[in-house]
Structure 1
Amino acid sequence: MMKNVLKFLEELAENNSKEWMDAHRDWYQNARSEFLELVEALLIEMVKLEPGLEPLKAKDCVFRQNRDIRFSSNKAPYKINMAALFAVEGKKSNMPGYYLHIQPGESFLAGGIWMPPPEVLKKIRQEIDYSGEEMLRIINEPSIHKRFGEIQGERLKTSPRDYNADHPYIDLLRLKSFIFTHTLSDKDITSQGLIGKIIDDFMLLKPFQDFLVKAVEDVETGEGLL
């Protein structure tokens, strides 16, 4: 599983040009199809964990291979990974979700919410203010801590507006993203048990996801997100 995807991405990283991609279009389509099949299989299992994902198809979750180079000094036209976001509204979502990133030697999975827009971040901070003890209990749960380590995310250098520096949960309130990640080796990616491993890790993150969803679920619709 995924050996062809890893090999394609390895070659793409060494030959990141439109000319190379045009000459290897069939290989790209084959590798992308394999990744879409993986994502579709994961979705079948993910719906059991998060029923709100049921309307999604694999193509709704998988990111484009083309890079947006308009405002980047790096003009390489293609991403050298394949990635998918499992969240309501799929890859376009600004809400909590589960993420899979495949790249030779740099694969990982993650859960949480990355750089949410201001209105969503405000809701998360409000929930931490009200229920910070619950969040601490979740993120320090031994199985999560053993598998994912510490919660990750860029932090403000000072206290966010409306919160004092001596707030009991100030370390969490200073976060601008709320993410757990776990690396996946190339051996993991090519193993027969890949789907089960990914689902097991996502299940560990379910309480963390639920906390974030509870915080932001009424930002857009007033209904549950996942």
Structure 2
Amino acid sequence: MTSIRSMKVATAVFKEMIRWSLWFFSILLAIHLIRVFWLNGGTAPIEGFFTFSQYSTSIFTLVLGIMTAYTFMGRHIQQGVSRRDSFFGISLAATGFALFLTVVPLAINGLQHLLAKASIFPVALDTAVVFESTAGAAAAAIGLFLNVLTYFFTGWLISIGYYRFRWIAGFGFIALSFIVFGLNDYLWKPGNYTLDWLPYEPFEMDFWLTVLGSVAMLLVLFLAMRLLTKRVPIKM
């Protein structure tokens, strides 16, 4: 059951993440608009903001996850928050933040789609391609949400590895993160993953099978992080 303290941690962490994301999206949108208006370099359609931002959004969330043990967890525990409340608060904030990082690109992409009909852009925008590949906008949004959350927890895994076990063991957690990324690519990027020994591509077989696999992987990461943070020593 979520306690009042964990909710306070979630609110504080979520607000801080939102502040950082405003800078992130401002820069990303500026780069995208520069590309559309000045660096289009031809007549080929340019992908919409949703497609353009997916990789950068995942990397941004990975960086936040890597900062978590030092920036969020340690600070709140030093202030008297229990390890349990800190963990669940940060996890709840990460889930809400992943939803925010999904909604914003969708909203900007939708606005671009409407503006494209008015022909205000100097080059055609392909704002629908990502939705066609996953059978609709809702499916694409689910995919981005799960990917972003996976990247955050993987970054947190790296962070707690260095925080708790120091830098030598931390390299082992980085190696573990590559396995997580490989499994995530196997689920979500057909034909573009490194685990060639696996039998088939879930994404090509059934979208909901991919979702189930992604949720299962997130559950394993969540439980692993709970065990790793349960008795973590706090560095002053």
TM-score, structure 1 normalization: 0.28
Structure with the largest fraction of helix: 2
Higher relative contact order by CA 8 Å / sep ≥ 6: 1 or 2? 2
Q: More strand by proportion, 1 or 2?
A: 1
TM-score by length of 2: 0.28
